[in-house]
Copies of this chain bind each other. A is one copy, B any other.
Amino acid sequence: MGETFPMNGGDGDYSYTKNSQYQKRGSDSVKEMIQQAVSENLDTKISSTVAIADLGCSVGPNTFFTVENLIEAVQKKHPSKTLEFQVFFNDHSGNDFNTLFSSLPPERHYHAAGVPGSFHDRLFPRSSITVAHSSYAIHWLSKQPQGAPNEGRIHCLEAPEAVLRAYSDQYEKDLGDFVSARGEEIVTGGLVLLVFAAAPDGIPHSENINSVLFSYLGHCLMELANEGVVEKKKIDEFNLPLYYPTEGEVRRVIERNGCFSVVKMEMTYPYSEIKVRFKIGPFRAALEGVLIACFGNSVVEKVFSKMQIRSDEIVERLMAVHDFAQLFVVLKRK
């Protein structure tokens, strides 16, 4: 079983609930694309019940918007049928399902269920899911890539080739497990819709927006090491379990699995102004869990204070690199 670092639960200042506006922006940008993908490609024997899964749903509210969009799309595709929808909200068992359940829209037109567990494993019975969706989740690795020394850095961007290889190997294994589990769970003609952060082909890693952010995070951690607040060894051994694949890497894994045809794969850049308006809050909400697990609360508090102080400098640096890239992928079960 991999390590699990859920988004921050509850509704505090750094909760995912209050800091998922970037992810919402990402979801919004594919709203129409999702409608179109369902309309053009969903091709299952629809009986009376449609099962929808949101994988890596976190605690809302984004997952609720996504699910309503999917339901609307399926209903438009089958206007003459009276359909019942069962929606499975999946995330790690450490996710705050209590918050998720208490914030379910009261007027929803679907039967809701929460499914705890890693989407790198099986979650549902064979051929039981009509449409699976996952937004801003599959760029998380199941564990920290190991085996390649990564001194003074916390990620593979700007790291030696061996570190990058450890990351891409882990990613291939994880995406392979994900696709293989979904291959068993999705009905013939059913769809898997994926939205995640990616790396545009042909752009050097150092020009990636995340490279900049993780570099700053790494530098701030190293400053704390120099101040004696945190052990340098801990930083050397730590690898942020996030990976941004290229289109080619994703396509290769899916084709090797063989269960799905790639109906669509589209790179977009939905955050053109994110760089000017960069805020620490959402960045912190997404990464805090994994950092606290390794370095503890007080170090994480200090590291984000340091980043906060440098935010003008960070914004300036971000302006010089390539826009944040998002990959939208539609897979159809053969």
Chain B minimum-CB-distance residue to A9: B98
Report B-chain residues with C-beta under 8 Å of the C-beta of A122.
111
Q: Are B104 and A93 in contact, CB atoms less than 8 angstroms apart?
A: yes
Chain B proximity mask over A289-300: 1 for CB below 8 Å, otherwise 0: 000000000000
Let me know if A48 is at the binding interface, CB within 8 A: yes
Chain B proximity mask over A37-57: 1 for CB below 8 Å, otherwise 0: 000000000001100000000
Let me know if A204 is at the binding interface, CB within 8 A: no
Q: Are A97 and B114 in contact, CB atoms less than 8 angstroms apart?
A: yes
Given A97-B114, A102-B93, A114-B113, CB of A125 within 8 Å of CB of B88: no
In the bound complex, what is the Cα–Cα distance between A123 and B113 (angstroms)? 9
Let me know if A29 is at the binding interface, CB within 8 A: no
Please tell me which one of the listed residues B86, B101, B125 contacts residue A111 in the complex, with CB atoms under 8 A apart. B125
Within 8 A of B (CB), among A115-168: 115-117, 122-126, 128
Let me know if A112 is at the binding interface, CB within 8 A: yes
Query: On chain A, which size bracket covers the interface?
Result: 20 to 34
Report B-chain residues with C-beta under 8 Å of the C-beta of A236.
none
Q: Are B112 and A117 in contact, CB atoms less than 8 angstroms apart?
A: yes
Let me know if A258 is at the binding interface, CB within 8 A: no
Report B-chain residues with C-beta under 8 Å of the C-beta of A86.
124-125, 128
Q: Are A94 and B84 in contact, CB atoms less than 8 angstroms apart?
A: no
Let me know if A247 is at the binding interface, CB within 8 A: no
In the bound complex, what is the Cα–Cα distance between A126 and B122 (angstroms)? 24
Let me know if A207 is at the binding interface, CB within 8 A: no
Q: Are A112 and B115 in contact, CB atoms less than 8 angstroms apart?
A: yes
Q: Are B101 and A93 in contact, CB atoms less than 8 angstroms apart?
A: yes
Let me know if A177 is at the binding interface, CB within 8 A: no
Report B-chain residues with C-beta under 8 Å of the C-beta of A84.
125-126
Which residue numbers of A lie inside 8 Å of B, CB to CB? 48-49, 84-86, 88, 93-94, 96-98, 101-102, 104, 111-117, 122-126, 128
Beyond contacts A111-B122, A112-B117: 16 other A-B pairs, Cβ-Cβ < 8 A, are A48-B126, A49-B125, A49-B128, A85-B125, A86-B125, A86-B128, A88-B113, A94-B102, A97-B98, A97-B114, A111-B123, A112-B116, A113-B113, A113-B115, A114-B114, A114-B115
